[in-house]
Amino acid sequence: MEIIDLTEKYFDRYFVCLEDWSVEIKEAGNHKELWHRRMKDKGLRVKLAVDGEKACGMIQYVPIEHSFAEGKDAYFIHCIWVHGHKKGVGNCQKRGIGKALLRAAEEDAAARGAKGMAAWGISLPFFLKASWFKKQGYVKVDKAGIQILMWKPFADDALRPKWIRERKRPQRKEGKVTVSAFLNGWCPAMNMTFERAKRAASEFGDKVEFWDIPTFDRDVFMEWGIADALFIDGKQVRTGPPPSFEKIRKKISRRVKKIKG
């Protein structure tokens, strides 16, 4: 197994987070490809763990100025993922691949002048566990719900980052059901939720308004303080793991039935 920089050879697998075997992932559209195309000029870095010619792990990180956290002279890890399904390349977890990817990213960031590395973690015991980053020498520096901002300084004068907070939420519109979908593009799971919500909203005609809020635009993200999320009539829908199309449609349908007249 070796750690390499992302090359065009692996684009198709990277754009679906190594799950090219998945039928469901196709619902995510091409948003990550578009995100990558725009983000690579802003300093996006991607490394893959490759066993033979099989990509079995990945890490992506950006200068913190282009992330969801406030900071300076640092990089921010959006995602680190080692393939854990039986399908495709098989379960590659529990082999130290995640640690190797993280070390390679840290060394790369430090070589580029970064004074520290921030990471997005979850307080619950599943994907991107904050506790895993803690074992790798990171400390908790901020929290927003279950989202934990983890941090490893490389220098004594490194500036601790903090989350950019939610600033406002979508509001209901009288006589309509409003479905507000925030989309950044970096994550196929989030992209899948967006596409399912858009498709479900379209089935109710003019009774439902679908608001597409593109947060790759930095000004839009800073206006809301929300990167990826789904709201129905101003109420946030839990999107981890991505809700099914049927579940989203059912939530919209319940709201439509409550419209007067």
Question: What's the pLDDT score for residue 226?
Answer: 97
| Residue 71 vs residues 120, 142, 144: alpha-carbon distances, Å | 14, 12, 16
Confidence band (pLDDT; 50, 70, 90) for 127? confident
Q: What is the mean pLDDT of residues 236-261?
A: 92
DSSP character string of 79-114: EEEE---SSTT----SSSHHHHHHHHHHHHHHHTT-
- What is the predicted pLDDT for the residue at 261? 58
In angstroms, the CA 191 to CA 69 distance is 20
Q: State mean pLDDT over 163-169.
A: 96
Q: What is the pLDDT of residues 211-234, one digit of tens each?
A: 999 999 999 999 999 999 999 999
Task: Indicate if the pLDDT at residue 255 is higher than 90.
Answer: yes
Angstrom CA distances, 240 to 17, 130, 153, 243, 256, stand at 16, 16, 29, 7, 24
How confident is the prediction for the chain on average, in pLDDT?
Answer: 95
All structural domains of the chain: 2-163 (3.40.630.30), 177-256 (3.40.30.10)
Enter the pTM of the model.
0.94
> What is the predicted pLDDT for the residue at 37?
96
With CA atoms as reference, report the closest residue to 2 among 47, 61, 59, 60.
Answer: 47
Please determine, for residue 88, whether its predicted confidence score (pLDDT) is greater than 70.
Answer: yes
pLDDT for the residue numbered 124: 83
Q: Given this model, what pLDDT does residue 126 score?
A: 73
Q: Check pLDDT > 70 for residue 27.
A: yes
pLDDT, tens digit (0-9, with 9 covering 90-100), for 30-47: 999 999 999 999 999 999
Distance CA 238, CA 231 (A): 9
Say whether pLDDT at 259 is over 90.
no
Q: Which of 132-141, 167-176, 252-261 bottoms out in mean pLDDT, i.e. has the lowest? A: 252-261
Banded pLDDT at 125 (limits 50, 70, 90):
confident
pLDDT at 140 over 70: yes
Rg (CA), the chain: 19
